[in-house]
Amino acid sequence: MSMSSSSVAEVAVAAAAAAAMESALPPPQLLLQQEEAPPRPMPAGGGGGAKSRHHAYSRKEKSLGLLCSNFVVLYNRDDVESIGLDEAAKSLGVERRRIYDIVNVLESVGILVRKAKNRYTWIGFDGVPMALRELKERALREKSGLAPLQTEQQSASTMSDDEDDDKLGNPDGDIENEKLSQTVDNPSDKPGAPRCRLRSDHRKEKSLGLLTQNFVKLFLTMEVDTISLDEAAKLLLGEGHEETNMRTKVRRLYDIANVLSSLNLIEKIQQEDTRKPAFRWLGRAAKPNAENAVTIAVPPPGKTVPNKRAFGNDISNINMHRSNLDSNIQKKPKLAQSGGDILKNCKLTVQSRLEQSKKSGFVYGPFHPAGARKQELDGGNKPEQRERAEDWESISASFRPQYQNQALGDLFAHYVEAWKTWYSEFAQGSNLMQQHFGQSVVNHFL
């Protein structure tokens, strides 16, 4: 309703953000209010004027990936524990519906856990390794045909999750919802609950969360680490699916892929031969031996061309040609504030991560919460230098949200500044770092 001129909004937000920066604690609400009331380009059948909107609409500004980045920036902090969906929607300036999309994907990779209705608990990127490990174990069990746990039988069968469309009454279809969190408060999980196939089960099978997990499983068990969404849809749907079914599935996979891209778990690339877009796994399983360890992959070997729409590759994420958005939002002067706390956090975080990466095979982006909970470390140690260097590279590359929002850009710039400062200090003390982690990596951020 309040059809705000976006530029005015931007200015207000930027100003508020700048003020917030000075107190070193950004008020998320202000930071992320970027919503320009959607000049919804005329719903289906609307008479005429789709082109009459005077305010070109840019899809990218609304993308799920971007929203996810913003979501993470908003909540990936020490002091965040509980997240209300309403507040998130408000803060991010989107409808609640979109938050569900984000949250479902984040939950299925372990970043969030549903605590109660309308409420999620922030786990952070620490939750990812375990979630992936679990997924991988499950996937491998399914793949090897080893009597999967009863509860997983169905999840295995989600490889063709539409074939049950007309079997809703099937008594042995004891599907288990794989969403870990749902065991918390889902009444159907009560011990006494009848184990018959319910419509809700059917619904869950098609959930974005489950689809995300199955999608990730593909990567975790495949030999190749790239896959196109068409292929993925085929694998997930099984044979003999209808075209419409396929279309729908692919649509959902796009949604998921965009979110996972923004988390830097996957990356969009162009297959060199076919020029067909595909997605490449970045959080691939480490070494066969450290079986469950997961690590961020090194940059692409050059076989494929990162697609420019891939999140995490392009800071701006704004297409200047099409976007009407004030491309003229100039970079504000770098925040010259000391930001002692943030810097300290940054240092502690990266240092502890370094420690951690010695033990588990997983490293996170630079904004991993300092107070994050410890991963249970599997025995796998003795990571070779090289691999660790790769991990370090990945630290720089693993989380680079895109900000089309001025304030967020500034916030991120600030983090970068802090990180750079720390890096230069740290690098002095580490030959290894200097060797493998050049300034160019830092420049990546800019």
Complex with DNA: residue 35 or 152, whichever CB lies closer = 35
Contact with DNA (CB under 7 A): which of 213, 292, 323, 396?
323
Tell me the three-class secondary structure of the chain, residue by residue: CCCCCHHHHHHHHHHHHHHHHHCCCCCHHHHHCCCCCCCCCCCCCCCCCHHHCCCCCCHHHHCHHHHHHHHHHHHCCCCCCEEEHHHHHHHHCCCHHHHHHHHHHHHHCCCEEEEECCEEEECCCCHHHHHHHHHHHHHHHHHHCCCCCHHHHHHHHHHHCCCCCCCCCCCCCCCCCCCCCHHHHCHHHCCCCCCCCCHHHHHHHCCHHHHHHHHHHHHHHCCCCEECHHHHHHHHHCCCCCHHHHHHHHHHHHHHHHHHHHCCCEEEEECCCCCCEEEEECCCECCCCCCCCECCCCCCCCCCEECCCCCCCCCCCCCCCCCCCCCCCCCCCCCCCCCHHHHHHHHHHHHHHHHHHHHCCCCCCCCCCCCCCCCCCCCCCCCCHHHHHHHHHHHHHHCCCCCCCHHHHHHHHHHHHHHHHHHHHHHHCCHHHHHHCCHHHHHCCC
Cβ(270)–Cβ(276) below 8 Å: yes
Question: What's the min distance (Å) between Cβ of 312 and DNA?
Answer: 13
Map residues 143-182 to x or -, x wherever contact with DNA holds by CB under 7 A: ----------------------------------------
Counting contacts by CB under 7 A, is residue 55 touching DNA? no
Is position 54 an interface residue for DNA (rule: CB under 7 A)? no
**Does residue 341 touch DNA according to CB under 7 A?**
no
Our CA dihedral for 148, 151, 155, 157, rounded to 10 degrees, sits at 70
> Judged by CB, which is closer to DNA: 9, or 294?
9
Q: Please say which residue, 206 or 358, places its beta carbon nearer to DNA.
A: 206
Q: How many residues bind DNA (CB under 7 A)?
A: 66
Q: How many CB atoms lie within 10 A of CB 243?
A: 7
Strand pairing class (82-84; 277-281): unpaired
Q: What angle do CA 338, 344, 349 make, to 5 degrees?
A: 140
Between residue 4 and residue 43, which ones bind DNA under the rule CB under 7 A?
Answer: 38, 40-43
Q: Segment 378-417, which members bind DNA (CB under 7 A)?
A: none
Which among 7-15, 58-66, 128-136, 389-397 is the span making contact with DNA, rule CB under 7 A? 58-66
Q: Is 247 exposed, middle or buried (0-12, 13-18, 19+ CB in 10 A)?
A: exposed
Q: By CB under 7 A, is residue 445 in contact with DNA? A: no
* Interface region with DNA, contact rule CB under 7 A, candidates 26-34, 231-239, 247-255, 413-421: 247-255
Nearer CB in complex with DNA: 147/320: 320
Look up residue 396 and give its two tokens: 């720089």
Site for DNA in 216-235 (CB under 7 A): 229
Stretch that binds DNA, among 20-28, 97-105, 123-131, 372-380 (CB under 7 A): 97-105
Residue of 4, 29, 62, 358 interacting with DNA (CB under 7 A): 62
Min separation Cβ 409 and DNA, Å: 19
Nearer to DNA, 40 or 382 (CB): 40
Judged by CB under 7 A, the residue of 52, 79, 97, 429 near DNA is 97
Touching DNA, residues 293-322 (CB under 7 A): 308-309, 319, 321-322
Please, which residue, 48 or 379, has the CB nearer to DNA?
48
Which stretch, 2-10, 144-152, 249-257, 421-429, contacts DNA (CB under 7 A)? 249-257
Q: Cβ closer to DNA: 8 or 56?
A: 56
Say whether residue 50 binds DNA (CB under 7 A): yes
Q: 47 or 145, CB closer to DNA?
A: 47
Binding of DNA by 351 (CB under 7 A): no
From the list 77, 252, 353, 388, which residue makes contact with DNA (rule: CB under 7 A)?
Answer: 252
Q: Determine, following the binding rule CB under 7 A, whether residue 193 of this chain makes contact with DNA.
A: no
Binding site for DNA (CB under 7 A): 38, 40-46, 50, 53, 56-60, 62-65, 85-86, 94-98, 100, 103-104, 116-119, 185-188, 198-200, 202-204, 206-209, 229, 244-245, 247-248, 250-252, 254-255, 257-258, 277, 308-309, 319, 321-323
